[in-house]
Structure 1
Amino acid sequence: MKKYTHEKAHEEIDYIFKTLLPQRGMAERPEQIRLCHSILDAMLDGSIALCDAGTGIGKTFAYLTAGILHGKCRAAEGKPQRPILISTSSIALQSAIQKEYLPLLSSVLLSEGLISAPIEAVIRKGKAHYACDARLERRVRQVEGSHKNPAARQALHTAWHVLDLDQLSGMSSYDRGRICVPKRCNCRRKDCRYRCFLDACQSGQYTVQICNHNLLLADLIHRSQKKKPLLPDSAAIIIDEAHKLPETARQMFGVTLNAQDFAELIRSLHVERYVLAAELLSEAVEPLAEKLSLPVEEGAGFDAYQMFLERPHQVLTVICRQLEGLLTRETWRLLSAVASTVSLFYLGNPEMIFYAADDDHGGAMLCGTVSELAAQLQATLWRQEQPIVLTSGTLAVGKDFSRFRTAAGLTGERPVTETVCPSPFDYQHNCLLYLPPDPIPLDAADYYDRLAAQIRQLAAASHGHALVLFTSYFAMSAVKERLQAAALPFPVFTMGKRPALTLAAFRAAPGSILLATGAAWEGLDFAGDGVSMLIIPCLPFAYPDAVKEKEREDYPNLREFLRSVVVPEMQIKLRQGFGRAIRTETDTCVVAVLDPRAARGRRYFQSMAEALPGMPVTGSLRAVEHFYRAHKDAGYFRLPNAG
């Protein structure tokens, strides 16, 4: 039989994307094909590939196809068969890869004889996500005959049939903490489901193993410390949503603290009947927890939170002293962890950097990290021998990856390839950039009154269907108050402590307006007419914090720091925000950037223009209204039910 060669693998890429997938109704996209060839080359060369893939490229199919064909090349060369390891930031993408992308691709390749067996994938998670049979058995015995909530009791019994605790509903966080696999697992049960699951993951059954960035980094940390790996050796590592890797690494190489940590500890103390301790702690942390429940405020550094740590530190010290030896092992571990973290943030450590960042729950978290992040990544991730593919829609500014490479410590001697594949979308026809002819000065005394009026005008022109992305919670709140007072004909929603509920309400009310900040700049999809007007009041420059102050030391002057760090980061975040507007080839949207610094001829106009795809620019509201009349059907203009 003729040997499978690298050239044959590249020929199969063309056949798959030009013939097979179009037969299944998928469009042929030249940039997707180019991306797949580039990724396969990097895998075959054993190098690191940076791939900036614009919205709509189809990068997931590109890297999955390259990974599968790379496996065929390895088999032909007699190399051991190892899985492809894919790391992503979002649960939704992990699930889509396992349940949508891979089954379709596997079916196509199998039907054409390009693979000999179906491709199987598994999602890997940390221990705390899985049920421990021994602990579950013990917990079920503990609640027998008690007055436990029927739904919670049923959830415990259901756990006998569901290993992944994320698939269970109705289970309290307390019960979950009591039945999950512990950090140190010494289970000797021959029928342990978790052990059987790990054995299956190591057996070669799964061609693709999927995890999040945290687990990937945890595995690499284990390997660097000569501990038992958490994940199997892989043929290649693919990191999707790679723009989030540096921040995840900061958290993994350090510690974090958020309001949920306090809430879980207080609940555990209540459940174990230490009511006084729970109430004292609840009272002590209330001011801090309230501040952490909101996104990081404009210009607010770590000091804005540290002032609220003294009382929690004092109370936790007393509780630890008085309850030592009295709590269950799980609650004592939780208490000790929270107490030591609060102590670290309160007392400080000269070897660490402390800062506040937005969390995934619509609030803030405190972070403490190592000062030399680049060195940590070089000692863990970049020292791996297998090929590593990093991809995202926002890794580069134009064709320049230098900001990401610096932030990720990707400055070693290992070869790195760079590929930029622009989006296939017709932005020239489907998008319009609006820059106000008379932008409001940011320091105007009546700034928020005028900004709210400007947003009302734009929302009227777009008939609602608007997303307003703010750079601060204060600005969002100020505009919200003024819009509510104006009695708009469109419902106005504000992202807050329950983002999932707010998003559901916004999507259920077509034509409404959503005010958002923080994490809403990326990761939210609004395909269709839901967001046909994207309003950005201010360019998303990062606010100074301890991380930036430390990085500033690496540059000879402020101008160079702004050019190399501050402006590129703003451009990347602006691209992320723009990505909320156009998600499919048929979406149409007006993007309004109201920041006076982005006006024509101003300091950051060119930087903004470089970050966004080419599209017509206007300063006329009449042109905006004409855009909607030309691109939307009659149903779009019906007023939503504001009641």
Structure 2
Amino acid sequence: MNDIDHHLGPDGALAGALPGFQPREEQQALGRGVAEAIDAGETLIAEAGTGTGKTFAYLLPALLSGKRVIVSTGTKTLQDQLYQKDLPLLRDALDLPRRTALLKGRTNYLCLYRTDLAEVDARFDRPGTGAQLQAIRQWAAVTDSGDISELAEVPNDAPIWGRATSTADNCLGQECPLYDDCFLMAARRRAQEADLLVVNHHLLLADMALKEGGFGEVLPSADAYILDEAHQLPDVAAQFFGVAVSSRQLQELIRDTHAEYLRDAGDQPALPDCLDVLRKAVQDFRLTLGEAGQRAAWNSLGDGEEAVDALIHLRAAASALAEVLETLAERGRGLENCYRRARDMASLLDRFADGEAEAFVQWFETYQQAFILRLTPLDVGQPFQARMKKHPAAWVFTSATLSVNEGFDHFLERMGLDRETSTLRVDSPFDYASNALLYAPAGMPEPNSPFYTEAFIERAEAVIRASGGRAFVLFTSHRALQQAAALMRDHLPYPVLVQGDASQNLLLERFREAGNAVLLGTGSFWEGVDVKGEALSAVIIDRLPFASPADPVTQARIDFLRRHGGNPFRDFQIPQAVIALRQGVGRLIRDASDYGVLMIGDPRLTGKSYGRLFLNSLPPMRRTRDLEAVQAFLARAD
């Protein structure tokens, strides 16, 4: 513990390595808590307010412990920052020869075999894809890691990467003729040898699910797991402890089988016929699901006879392809892999059709030409806890937003953790009382009023004018965002940037460069977005972020809790909304010198009894309902 305090103190390792470093008691307290948990092999829930410096507070004891540690983050962006910036800085400052490694999911690494296959079956849906494949080919000859984020010339979301990377379905494993040169396997070998390994939640949960199924280890065993951005875990776990079947998986199976047919089975005319039948079955099933943009329960299709019949035909087409491929599997590892995938797709479609137990929700998503079928568990706590017990170690869950009304009951319950689990709350060192003002405008209509969005925009524009632009406006729905975008572009003398007009990174870059811009966002802009300094002086939130009851998973969880004697609004909907609101609020003050106004338009914040829970969960800032007080507060900043 003395080492932790020293290295995070005025004469410690960070003070010498990090320009502008200031010792913070909050950071030291978090570091001590993490060190104690790792040393004792215990579980710790640790909330660290914005500005605590929690990354260094957990990396320091992880490096000093001498134990093998896996650090998991919420996103690949945070993962890269940890591995490429924070870890090297701290390791060099401590002069510790600890081996570190970075491991991402397999779709982040170039697959040489599938790149070859793409050239064999050189049919591309979009112009320019052939040129992108050639760029990938040239890069493949010089890259050491095979991490596709290295190749800026081909965007990470370019469709060609689906042809040049592998999935768990289509990977040939040790039977691959290019296995010895595999970038993914090299990254996994480095991971197995590392003292400290950096992963992300999707990879960690996928690994847990694989081990449950009896497959070989992807991640090494560890003495300690540190899970940052832990508030995201329940939703990520729900993805991996459930079942999903997508049109993309089926189309990739069709495409890969066709390529293997050209390579090893050109004398079998029955195979292209089966692929044509499956391709049509996928298209026909998509049509029965209706318009794009849906997230709906399977039973929302009414009697659903057309969709049920189309699902039966889809399953039969997958099964028929599997039967043909079974007779050809011995001709090559690629055909054998396609046989297994076709068989598994038919089995997964059966599982979805059966619906399984009441503890799962059966639902679907639709896109312009695609769909995903999902079975999602309504309770991830029990399966997550079972997997934790299979990996006895220290477990540290940390985030800026884990508590509700200063308590951790909601997170503990969702993750299946014992009520006696050790917890630690470390407040932000920032001076919210002096540097932030909460504005809840008076006279707002109820959120379900048809006039609500217009009234919100009118009051938001007044704050934006007072702040000289320099504002985030966060919405809980895309419809409200688009309505606001149309009005604000006409009304405001500032650059108005709207989510969807460009990538998130490009929008943020433009926002910072403009110095007086207004950025309108929803979803991903509520968290993980960091703008320090004068470029951001106001965060404006339209509604308390209750999940839509029309969402099939939300509605199913509400029904599940009600059936089991719970109070869904108190026990689930409010806590979820509080945590989401705290994430949005966290965009405002990102540095000790930041200064700004938080406006929450929703009148339920002050008009409903449960509004007190939201207010008690926010940083301790002054409050007003008076626009003139907002204008005076912002004028002082100038």
Range of TM-score over shorter length = 0.7 to 0.9
**Aligned ranges 1:493-642 → 2 under 5 Å:** 493-496=497-500, 499-500=503-504, 502-544=507-549, 545-556=555-566, 558=567, 561-599=568-606, 602-632=608-638
CA RMSD of aligned residues (A): 3.8
Aligned residue-pair number: 588
Per the alignment, residue 452 of structure 2 pairs with 447
- Shift in CA distance, 305/60, structure 1 to aligned 2, threshold 3 Å: farther
Secondary structure at the aligned position of 1:37 is classed as: helix
1:489 pairs, out of 474, 488, 493, with: 493
Give distance in 2, aligned partners of 1:503 and 1:174. Answer: 27
Per the alignment, residue 211 of structure 1 pairs with 199
- Following superposition, the deviation at residue 459 of structure 1 comes to 2.2
Per the alignment, residue 318 of structure 2 pairs with 320
- Shift in CA distance, 502/106, structure 1 to aligned 2, threshold 3 Å: closer
- Shift in CA distance, 344/139, structure 1 to aligned 2, threshold 3 Å: same
Per the alignment, residue 87 of structure 1 pairs with 72
Cα distance per residue 1:521-580 (max 9 Å; x no partner)? 222222233432212221112233112321333435x3xx43333322221111111012
Per the alignment, residue 265 of structure 2 pairs with none
Are residues 1:34 and 2:39 paired? no
Per the alignment, residue 269 of structure 2 pairs with none
- Shift in CA distance, 151/537, structure 1 to aligned 2, threshold 3 Å: closer
After alignment, is 493-502 or 447-456 more displaced?
493-502
- Following superposition, the deviation at residue 224 of structure 1 comes to 4.3
Secondary structure at the aligned position of 1:149 is classed as: helix
Give distance in 1, aligned partners of 2:508 and 2:317. Answer: 39
- Shift in CA distance, 505/278, structure 1 to aligned 2, threshold 3 Å: farther
- Following superposition, the deviation at residue 463 of structure 1 comes to 2.4
Per the alignment, residue 75 of structure 1 pairs with none
- Following superposition, the deviation at residue 268 of structure 1 comes to 6.9
Secondary structure at the aligned position of 1:614 is classed as: coil
- Shift in CA distance, 202/188, structure 1 to aligned 2, threshold 3 Å: farther
Give distance in 1, aligned partners of 2:508 and 2:31. Answer: 34
- Following superposition, the deviation at residue 492 of structure 1 comes to 3.0
Per the alignment, residue 639 of structure 1 pairs with none
- Following superposition, the deviation at residue 16 of structure 1 comes to 0.6
- Following superposition, the deviation at residue 231 of structure 1 comes to 1.3
**Alpha-carbon contact 2:537-2:597 (below 8 Å) kept:** yes
Give distance in 2, aligned partners of 1:238 and 1:489. Answer: 46
Unaligned runs of 5+ in 1: 1-9, 72-81, 633-643
Per the alignment, residue 228 of structure 1 pairs with 216
**Alpha-carbon contact 1:352-1:368 (below 8 Å) kept:** no
**Alpha-carbon contact 2:72-2:226 (below 8 Å) kept:** yes
- Following superposition, the deviation at residue 227 of structure 1 comes to 3.8
1:151 pairs, out of 113, 119, 132, with: 132
**Alpha-carbon contact 1:476-1:515 (below 8 Å) kept:** yes
Give distance in 2, aligned partners of 1:233 and 1:66. Answer: 19
**Aligned ranges 1:364-443 → 2 under 5 Å:** 367-411=374-418, 416-443=421-448
Per the alignment, residue 57 of structure 1 pairs with 52
**Alpha-carbon contact 2:444-2:452 (below 8 Å) kept:** no
Give distance in 2, aligned partners of 1:148 and 1:573. Answer: 39
- Shift in CA distance, 340/583, structure 1 to aligned 2, threshold 3 Å: farther
- Shift in CA distance, 337/512, structure 1 to aligned 2, threshold 3 Å: farther
Give distance in 1, aligned partners of 2:365 and 2:52. Answer: 29
Identity of aligned residues (%): 29
**Aligned ranges 1:66-145 → 2 under 5 Å:** 66-71=61-66, 83-110=68-95, 115=96, 117=97, 119-133=98-112, 136=115
What amino acid is aligned across from residue 159 of structure 1 in structure 2?
A
**Alpha-carbon contact 1:382-1:410 (below 8 Å) kept:** no
- Structure 1-normalised TM-score? 0.80
Per the alignment, residue 16 of structure 2 pairs with 23
Per the alignment, residue 250 of structure 1 pairs with 238
- Shift in CA distance, 460/403, structure 1 to aligned 2, threshold 3 Å: same
After alignment, is 561-570 or 590-599 more displaced?
561-570
Per the alignment, residue 146 of structure 2 pairs with 164
Unaligned runs of 5+ in 2: 263-271, 329-333, 550-554
What amino acid is aligned across from residue 320 of structure 1 in structure 2?
A
**Alpha-carbon contact 1:521-1:580 (below 8 Å) kept:** yes
What amino acid is aligned across from residue 7 of structure 2 in structure 1?
I
- Following superposition, the deviation at residue 128 of structure 1 comes to 3.9
**Alpha-carbon contact 1:313-1:343 (below 8 Å) kept:** no
1:239 pairs, out of 216, 221, 227, with: 227
Secondary structure at the aligned position of 2:588 is classed as: coil
Per the alignment, residue 6 of structure 1 pairs with none
What amino acid is aligned across from residue 567 of structure 1 in structure 2?
I
Secondary structure at the aligned position of 1:42 is classed as: helix
Per the alignment, residue 268 of structure 2 pairs with none
Cα distance per residue 1:1-34 (max 9 Å; x no partner)? xxxxxxxxx1111221111222333110101001
What amino acid is aligned across from residue 148 of structure 2 in structure 1?
D
What amino acid is aligned across from residue 231 of structure 2 in structure 1?
H
**Alpha-carbon contact 1:540-1:570 (below 8 Å) kept:** yes
What amino acid is aligned across from residue 40 of structure 1 in structure 2?
A
Cα distance per residue 1:44-77 (max 9 Å; x no partner)? 1111011001111111111111112221xxxxxx
Give distance in 1, aligned partners of 2:474 and 2:314. Answer: 38
Give distance in 1, aligned partners of 2:499 and 2:344. Answer: 31
2:175 pairs, out of 182, 186, 189, with: 186
After alignment, is 503-512 or 273-282 more displaced?
273-282
Cα distance per residue 1:456-513 (max 9 Å; x no partner)? 22322222222222222333334334445x4432333332486535555545544232
